[in-house]
Structure 1
Amino acid sequence: MTAHEPRTAGPHAAGSRTTVVVITRDRRDQLLHTLDRLAALPERPHVVVVDNGSSDGTAGAVAARHPGVTLVSPGRNLGAVGRTLGARHARTPYVAFSDDDSWWEPGALAAAERLLDAHPRLGLVAATVRVGDEGREDPLNAELAASPLGREHGLPGTRVLGFLACAAVARREAFLEAGGYHPVVFFAGEEQLLAYDLEACGWAVCHCPEVVAVHSPVGGVRDGRRAVMRRNAVLTAWLRR
């Protein structure tokens, strides 16, 4: 397979208006678990997996276990830009994002579709995040709900300038108009810059608690992540403020 060439096997679910884009790298088993969860959703969303240069047999495992998934193999690690590549391959008006350790609760994508249908200015839904099998609240939920931007007439939730990338549903048109994720930021805190760019294009980003994603991270915070997040915060401010 050449770089950026998708392999699509099997038909998409009829009537689905949301594609779930999943980025992954060298986490085959976690990815397969996530794909199992997505396949069980009542919405039956399309799924695009962007393999950011895995060396653990991810592509073959996905093809064998989930032949209906569209697999995109750029041949290298694109970081968060892999989500943008996946969104370009989507053919639905809405794109939800998962990582290889996250998925959506049953009914969440249908709820997001209703919100996006009803509010044409809404560009991205920042979902509620439940952590692990026990479903505990992610502290981010409280931060989003307390956003100083508050609510605005004609929008379904609190306006925010940040979200969790694996717990977001975007209007594909808005996401691509804003340019998707910036390659300079790569990973860690990449969401804030995209939120700025969506707002600059006239699209709203809202926290809508009724849309729920599940995040089940394996292991703790990776070494150096906090330093990268601080660096990316500085880059975001330099690029846009």
Structure 2
Amino acid sequence: MTPPEPAEVTCVIASRNRRDDLLDSLPRHEAPVVLVDNASTDDTVAAVARAHPEVTVVPLPENVGAVARTIGVAHAGTPFVAFTDDDSWWAPGDLARAVEVMRAHPRLGLLAARILVGPEDRLDPVCTEMAQSPLRREPDLPGPSLLGFVACAALVRVEAFTAVGGFDEVVRFPGEEERVALDLAASGWGLAYVDEVTVHHHPSPRRDTNAVRQTGIWRSRVLTALMRYPLPALAGQLLRAARAGRPGVRGLAGAVPRVPAALRARRVLPTTVMTGVRELQG
């Protein structure tokens, strides 16, 4: 399949101190790239500018976390944006195929691709979960309905993403996807897993430890619940965090400084979306 038209889709990457990973992955993208650099200190900006002058680099003076992706979307100027990470890329031809799927399904706000991990192409376990989503399959969507996604393997309709505010300053990283997914669903947009398109993910050796990531994920879950869950569901999420051991407790503690901002952005989800949340939580 031929690459997508440049006017249709942009790859947006948010990165920090991953210069070598970027120099490896950037040549693999089949669409124009906007790289938003979260105040790297490893010469990322200059190195990318030298090696890939065709890439639009947006250097930020401070690390804003996932908000960098929202900034990247504003610079894209295309109706669709493929989120990739500095250590991931869409399989040859599959970005164009994903754009075709989006065009064929006008209510589809976000497409989640299959993720193959590492040089051995292991299927990411999250893909099995998405493929077996217990949510009702919508007849006008191309795959199982979702209320979550993995940012490095998502294609978004910019109209939909922008309407819900993109990634916000409260829920930074990791686990920033849930609030965006919930707001897309609350606004009537569909989210679907499409197994026919693939993203390759070769996790960077410069990643946080699993313990640090789990703490961050619980922090994001708590903040998302504060922003969107009705009080009974919020209490349940706080209880789950407290029972999750050290990562959950640390996540609760890490959420405390952002509680005022989360409450200022609080907007309770409609019952239909919360029903789906409860189904996914089992």
Q: Could you tell me how far apart the structure 1 residues matched to 2:120 and 2:75 are? A: 34
TM-score, normalised with respect to structure 1: 0.89
Residues 185 and 15 of structure 1: CA distance in aligned 2, closer, same or farther (over 3 Å): closer
1:225 counterpart = 2:213 = yes
Q: Could you tell me how far apart the structure 1 residues matched to 2:151 and 2:74 are? A: 17
1:145 counterpart = 2:136 = no
Residues 15 and 226 of structure 1: CA distance in aligned 2, closer, same or farther (over 3 Å): closer
Question: Cα distance, 1:68 vs. partner?
Answer: 0.7
**Residue 86 of structure 1 aligns to a residue in which SS?**
helix
Pairwise mapping of residues 1-241 of structure 1 onto structure 2 (< 5 A)? 15-38=6-29, 41=30, 45-219=31-205, 221-222=208-209, 223-241=211-229
Question: Cα distance, 1:126 vs. partner?
Answer: 0.8
Q: Which has the larger Rg?
A: 2
In structure 1, the gaps of 5 or more residues are: 1-12
TM-score, normalised with respect to structure 2: 0.77
Query: What one-letter code is carried by the residue in structure 2 that aligns with 1:154?
Result: D
Tell me if the contact between 2:102 and 2:108 (Cα under 8 Å) persists in the aligned partners: yes
**Residue 26 of structure 2 aligns to a residue in which SS?**
helix
Residues paired across the two proteins, number: 224
Please report the RMSD computed on the Cα atoms of aligned residues, expressed in angstroms.
1.4
Output one character per residue of 1:58-93: Cα deviation in whole Å (capped at 9) or x when no partner. 111111111111111121111011000000101111
Tell me if the contact between 2:6 and 2:32 (Cα under 8 Å) persists in the aligned partners: no
State the percentage of identical aligned residues. 50
**Residue 140 of structure 2 aligns to a residue in which SS?**
coil
Output one character per residue of 1:176-214: Cα deviation in whole Å (capped at 9) or x when no partner. 111111211100111111100111111111111112111
Q: Could you tell me how far apart the structure 2 residues matched to 1:24 and 1:168 are? A: 16
In structure 2, the gaps of 5 or more residues are: 230-282
Tell me if the contact between 1:129 and 1:212 (Cα under 8 Å) persists in the aligned partners: yes
Residues 20 and 226 of structure 1: CA distance in aligned 2, closer, same or farther (over 3 Å): same
Question: Cα distance, 1:218 vs. partner?
Answer: 2.3
Residues 14 and 231 of structure 1: CA distance in aligned 2, closer, same or farther (over 3 Å): closer
Residues 123 and 75 of structure 1: CA distance in aligned 2, closer, same or farther (over 3 Å): same
Question: Cα distance, 1:234 vs. partner?
Answer: 1.4
Tell me if the contact between 1:16 and 1:46 (Cα under 8 Å) persists in the aligned partners: no
Output one character per residue of 1:78-114: Cα deviation in whole Å (capped at 9) or x when no partner. 1011000000101111000111111110111111111
Tell me if the contact between 2:79 and 2:157 (Cα under 8 Å) persists in the aligned partners: yes
Question: Cα distance, 1:16 vs. partner?
Answer: 4.2
**Structure 2 match to 1:8:** none
Output one character per residue of 1:159-192: Cα deviation in whole Å (capped at 9) or x when no partner. 1011111000000111111111121110011111
Q: Could you tell me how far apart the structure 2 residues matched to 1:35 and 1:109 are? A: 15
**Residue 226 of structure 1 aligns to a residue in which SS?**
helix
Query: What one-letter code is carried by the residue in structure 2 that aligns with 1:25?
Result: R
Looking at secondary structure, tell me which structure has more strand per residue. 1
**Residue 139 of structure 2 aligns to a residue in which SS?**
coil
Q: Could you tell me how far apart the structure 2 residues matched to 1:190 and 1:15 are? A: 28
Tell me if the contact between 1:185 and 1:235 (Cα under 8 Å) persists in the aligned partners: yes
Structure 1 segments, 4+ long, off by >6 Å, are none
Q: Could you tell me how far apart the structure 2 residues matched to 1:190 and 1:169 are? A: 16
Looking at secondary structure, tell me which structure has more helix per residue. 2
Q: Could you tell me how far apart the structure 2 residues matched to 1:188 and 1:14 are? A: 31
